[in-house]
Amino acid sequence: MKIIFFGSAHFGVLALKALIKSQHELVCVVTQPDKQKGRHLQLAATDVKNTALSCGLNIFQPENINNIESANFLKKLDVDIFVIAAYGQILSQEILDIPKIMPVNIHASLLPRYRGAAPINWSIINGDKKTGVTIMYVTRKMDSGPIIIQKEVKIEDKDTAISLEEKLSLCGSGLLMEALAIIDSRNYRLLDQDEEKVVYAPKMKKEIGLIDWDTPAVNIHNQIKGVVPWPGAFTSYRRKLLKIFQAEVLPIFPGQKPAAGQIIRADKHGIIVACSRGFLEIKELQLEAGKRMSAQNFVIGHKLIVGEILGKDK
């Protein structure tokens, strides 16, 4: 089949590579325009574009995928399938109607759970034990199209949003090949999503990274793992921003229960903070204007006082 691939984020790279190696004809790769990044605001290409360039593929980077110029360009390519994976623009019905067979999307959840922009992050933040990948027929309503095929993926306790993305990306590339095979053979069935089971996964915002110490330690632990690489988990310490990158949950700790956010140990063994239920042992952190470091090294360079409360001056 003749295919156009739409993708921008790292999540879509393995699917693109799988298409390149397949028997299908990859006619074009559509990705977001280069954007300014970093301190010096240098133009940077998407991960998908870098992969496409390395393979000598035809690349299309419209500012607006839905304008008449984009539509005319895509129509002239006369393809059977659109494959979409974390592209970054919503396609109009006119664009979705262009492929002769159908447009399909690789979505990083078991739909209808986690429709939206950040399904991987929210599955970690909410403490889910499983997620997966859905290949779906694309409709105008966000992530609501009928399901072609799904596959479950286990979420390990050590998983972060970054490691889970890698697992789901790998799963998605293989599942895409399965979906294309059954579409090509016309041996597929479209399964409507159960609207009563819909859960949304809104886009990440900076405030989602703010730690509320008056919540259970396990919830904060999941938050820390789920908000990487952005916005990251953060609190405040002596009126400075304090980022926390790694931590572990301690259900119990000797001594009387202190206030939420209170430092109850800060020594060569690490930093332990009280939560509304349980305790959090901080493993890796970074104080504003400082370097990212282990808790042990942080304690050496900063005179933390047992009894101080994190987040008190947020």
From first CA to last CA, the distance across the chain in angstroms is 56
**pLDDT score recorded for residue 212:** 98
Strands (E), the chain: 2-7, 25-30, 35-37, 42-44, 59-60, 81-85, 102-107, 113-115, 130-137, 147-154, 199-200, 233-237, 240-250, 263-267, 270-274, 279-287, 293-294
Dist CA 103 CA 228 (whole Å): 30
Provide the total of helices (H) and of strands (E) in the chain, helices listed first: 8, 17
Q: What is the DSSP string of 67-112?
A: SHHHHHHHHHT--SEEEEES-SSPPPHHHHT-SSSEEEEEESSSTT
Please, are residues 248 and 215 in contact by the beta-carbon 8 Å criterion?
no
Question: How confident is residue 252, by pLDDT bands cut at 50, 70 and 90?
Answer: confident
Q: What residues contact residue 274 under an 8 Å CB cut-off, 6+ apart? A: 213, 253, 257, 258, 259, 260, 261, 262, 264
Q: Tokens at residue 223, please?
A: 């938050």
Share of the chain above pLDDT 90, in %: 92
**pLDDT score recorded for residue 37:** 81
In the predicted structure, residue 148 carries a pLDDT above the cut 80: yes
- Nearest-CA neighbor of 311 among 204, 223, 203? 223
Q: Tokens at residue 3, please?
A: 């295919």
Backbone angles phi, psi at 179, to 5 degrees: -65, -45
Mean pLDDT of 284-303: 94
pLDDT digits (tens, 9 = 90+) for 281-291: 999 999 999 99
**pLDDT score recorded for residue 313:** 73
pLDDT digits (tens, 9 = 90+) for 16-46: 999 999 999 999 999 999 998 877 778 999 9
pTM of the full structure: 0.95
Question: How confident is residue 312, by pLDDT bands cut at 50, 70 and 90?
Answer: confident
Mean pLDDT of 274-298: 95
Dist CA 263 CA 289 (whole Å): 21
Mean pLDDT of 124-151: 98
Q: Tokens at residue 104, please?
A: 């399909």
Dist CA 311 CA 314 (whole Å): 5
Cis peptide before 119 (omega within 30 of 0): no
CA distances from 313 to 33, 262, 284, 295 (A): 40, 13, 21, 21
- Nearest-CA neighbor of 89 among 29, 148, 30, 162? 30
Which burial class, exposed, middle or buried, applies to 313 when counting CB atoms under 10 A from its CB (0-12, 13-18, 19+)?
A: exposed
Which amino acid is located at 138 in the chain?
V
**pLDDT score recorded for residue 178:** 98
Rounded to the nearest 5 degrees, what angle is found at the Cα of 212, between the Cα atoms of 198 and 157?
60
pLDDT digits (tens, 9 = 90+) for 255-272: 767 999 999 999 888 899
Mean pLDDT of 60-87: 98
What number of CA atoms fall less than 13 Å from residue 199's CA on the CB side?
14
Mean pLDDT of 284-300: 95
Please, are residues 98 and 21 in contact by the beta-carbon 8 Å criterion?
no
How much is the mean pLDDT over the chain? Answer: 96
Dist CA 18 CA 271 (whole Å): 45
Question: How confident is residue 107, by pLDDT bands cut at 50, 70 and 90?
Answer: very high
- Ordered structural domains, the chain, with CATH: 2-200 (3.40.50.170), 206-301 (3.10.25.10)
**pLDDT score recorded for residue 314:** 52
